[in-house]
Amino acid sequence: MEDASLLRYSRQIHISGIDIAGQEKLLDSRVLLIGLGGLGSPIAMYLASSGVGHLVISDFDHVELSNLQRQIIHGTGDIGAPKAESARSTIEELNPDVTVEMIGHRLSGDELLAQIEAADVVVDATDNFGSRFELNRLCHQARTPLVSGAAIRMEGQVSVYRLDLPDSPCYRCLYPETGELGERCAETGVLGPVVGIIGTIEATETIKVLLDLGETLTGRLLILDARTMEWSVMKLTKDPNCPVCSISPGEAVSNS
């Protein structure tokens, strides 16, 4: 590692369990981030500044004035620009070590699956249940770890689904897939720092999964009520009847 990199990452290289080897591993890592809104903004910025070497980021929206209260990767001068372009310039300014691949259209189906298969970790920063269920299903199919967070009003939830491991619950073990459960921030509102809190936790957990550092939120849902600033932890176990993760393709073959 060059001197400039040693200096740039020195504060985290000092952390036990990261060291130079961990930093090199981060620089060699590939993360797929879906969404560049309130969650995706701090996630992209922290993963980039931490030196996650290859970021693949998908968002098909354009920057609007009403985004800027929380989507801190974009600025006033970016209004009207594609979020993918605006985010790219912020990330390149933050850390030129990072290779950024921006996907400015909606990723789905086989194209999404191929990106998930290529990633070390997938980070869910979407804003609706449909996208979240699709990501979970494809991450399970590809056996790729999924870091998932959500926020609305002054509430947030975040967890890690180690879909590369057989005993981990998945997102579908948490939420039933029954119609349109949720409200969107556009309809209900959201406080900017609250998505920031949840997004930075997602970035932290992503780095931990990449480096196998400490204990992640796997099997625990962390729930924030920012109005009281109370955190709750719910233990989440694998649902034996989960339509996504209860039977692996390998088991299905061996049982037939």
Partner 1 sequence: MVHITVKLNVSLRKYRSSLKINEEMPILIPSDTTLAELLEHILQIPAEEVAIHMVNGIKSDMDRILVEGDKVAFWPPVAGG
- List residues near partner 1 by CB under 8 A: 35, 37-40, 125-129, 132, 149-157, 173-175, 178, 181-185, 188, 190, 195, 198, 221, 223, 225, 227-228, 230, 232-237
Chain center to CA of 205 = 9
Q: What single DSSP character describes residue 256? A: -
Least CB distance from residue 236 to partner 1, whole Å?
Answer: 5
Q: Which is nearer to partner 1, 174 or 207 (CB)?
A: 174
Give the separation between CA 165 and CA 174, rounded to whole angstroms: 17
Alpha helices in 124-191 (DSSP H): 129-142, 171-174, 185-188
Q: Which is nearer to partner 1, 39 or 210 (CB)?
A: 39
Looking at the DSSP assignment, which residues form a beta bridge with residue 160?
Answer: 147, 218
Q: Which is nearer to partner 1, 120 or 127 (CB)?
A: 127
Give the separation between CA 152 and CA 6, rounded to whole angstroms: 38
- Phi, psi of 71, deg, nearest 5: -95, 80
Q: Is the dihedral of CA 86, 108, 222, 143 positive or negative?
A: negative
19-20-21-25 Cα dihedral, nearest 10 degrees: 100
Q: Which is nearer to partner 1, 107 or 173 (CB)?
A: 173
Least CB distance from residue 16 to partner 1, whole Å?
Answer: 30
Least CB distance from residue 152 to partner 1, whole Å?
Answer: 4
Least CB distance from residue 144 to partner 1, whole Å?
Answer: 19
Q: Which is nearer to partner 1, 10 or 108 (CB)?
A: 108
Q: Which is nearer to partner 1, 25 or 162 (CB)?
A: 162
Chain center to CA of 51 = 16
Query: What letter represents residue 222's amino acid?
Result: L
Give the separation between CA 256 and CA 251, rounded to whole angstroms: 9
Least CB distance from residue 225 to partner 1, whole Å?
Answer: 5
Q: Which is nearer to partner 1, 119 or 190 (CB)?
A: 190
Looking at the DSSP assignment, which residues form a beta bridge with residue 58?
Answer: 34, 103
Least CB distance from residue 154 to partner 1, whole Å?
Answer: 8
Least CB distance from residue 70 to partner 1, whole Å?
Answer: 10
Give the residue carrying structure tokens 């980021």: 57
